[in-house]
């Protein structure tokens, strides 16, 4: 939802699903370049200079939730293990000297709980508000 140019030749848009439908008067079109799970990214180690990790933020959502329709939903019992696996995969495909941008909305899970799942320390990010952009740098040490 934050892309200005999803067709840019320098980006690969990955999502676990491809679907288009209408819900509550809004058209939802999830059309990634590649369908894959963030817990098992199908790219070689150290492939990308920049990775953006924007996982679902919801543990609870109704079956007709527009937020769930647009953004997906985490497993309410295993969300922390899933996010930990996602962080590992993002760092694995990131080149040494690369940047990981992590987007998180604290609508149901506090940022501090999410960062506790990550073995990497953030470099910088915003600490106010409910939507956070957190930057990680992959050093060579």
Whether the per-residue pLDDT at 61 is higher than 90: the answer is: no
How many whole angstroms separate alpha carbon 4 and alpha carbon 73? 23
Does the pTM of the predicted model rise above 0.85?
yes
Winning range, highest mean pLDDT, from 6-10, 61-65, 67-71, 132-136? 132-136
Give the pLDDT band of residue 24 (cuts 50, 70, 90).
confident
**pLDDT at residue 70 in the model:** 77
How many whole angstroms separate alpha carbon 105 and alpha carbon 131? 4
Structure tokens at 49: 């200079």
Give the pLDDT band of residue 1 (cuts 50, 70, 90).
low
């Amino acid at each position: 939802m934050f892309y200005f140019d999803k067709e840019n030749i320098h980006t690969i848009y990955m999502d676990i699903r491809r679907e288009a439908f209408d819900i509550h008067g809004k058209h939802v079109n999830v059309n990634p370049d590649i369908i894959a799970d963030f817990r098992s990214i199908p790219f070689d180690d150290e492939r990308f200079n920049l990775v953006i990790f924007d996982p679902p933020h919801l543990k609870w959502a109704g079956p007709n939730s527009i937020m769930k329709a647009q953004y997906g939903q985490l497993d309410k019992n295993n969300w922390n293990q899933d996010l930990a696996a996602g962080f590992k995969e993002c760092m694995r495909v990131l080149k040494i000297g690369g940047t990981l941008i992590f987007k998180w909305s604290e609508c149901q899970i506090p940022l501090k709980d999410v960062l506790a799942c990550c073995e990497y320390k953030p470099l910088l990010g915003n600490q106010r508000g409910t939507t956070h952009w957190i930057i990680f740098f992959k050093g060579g040490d």
